Amino acid sequence: MKSIFPIEIETKIMELYWMDIFKNNIIVFLEKISSKIETIIDFCDLYFLPSREEYERYDHIFIDFLVASNEILRNINTNNGLKKYFKNRYKEYKFILIEEPYLSNDTKILKKLHYISLFIISRSGQMRYYTYERFAKLSNTFKNIEI
């Protein structure tokens, strides 16, 4: 089938078409996941880390968000392209990749909290031990409950 446009215009139209496909399929997808990670960071900084003294009061609320966040981070870890992209974008995710083999053998923290615990431990700075202990206590509290 012969085109009614000159080849230069047709090439430009196809280039714009494929740029739009790429934007909708790739860039928007990456921005959605980045938005979810930013939400995890905000939750961590505003609610999880500062409330260490009174955490038992809010743990039943936090656990659902932590499990959902862990699932997001686990899905990123199973996709090599996403893993490389977010490793370079977030230092916390790079920490997950480095420390994940060590935590996989740890029985104190539930499997449903492994990735999010590493993420938040990396954000907690000098309070890493307390954050680890908090996740161990959370895991012990919710180990018999189906999350």
Amino acid at 34: S
| Domains of the chain, residue spans | 39-141
Counting beta carbons within 10 angstroms of the beta carbon of residue 40, is it exposed (0 to 12), middle (13 to 18) or buried (19 or more)? buried
Output the average pLDDT for the chain.
84
Q: Which of 121, 139, 138 is nearest to 130 (CA)?
A: 121
The answer to whether residues 77 and 83 touch, using CB atoms and an 8 Å cutoff, is yes
125: left (phi over 0), alpha (psi -120 to 50) or beta: left
pLDDT value of residue 45: 86
pLDDT value of residue 72: 94
Flag whether pLDDT at 1 surpasses 60: no
User: What percent of the chain shows pLDDT beyond 90?
Assistant: 17
Q: Is 28 helix (H, G, I), strand (E, B) or coil?
A: helix
Counting beta carbons within 10 angstroms of the beta carbon of residue 3, is it exposed (0 to 12), middle (13 to 18) or buried (19 or more)? exposed
pTM: 0.79
Give pLDDT tens digits for 106-116: 788 888 888 99
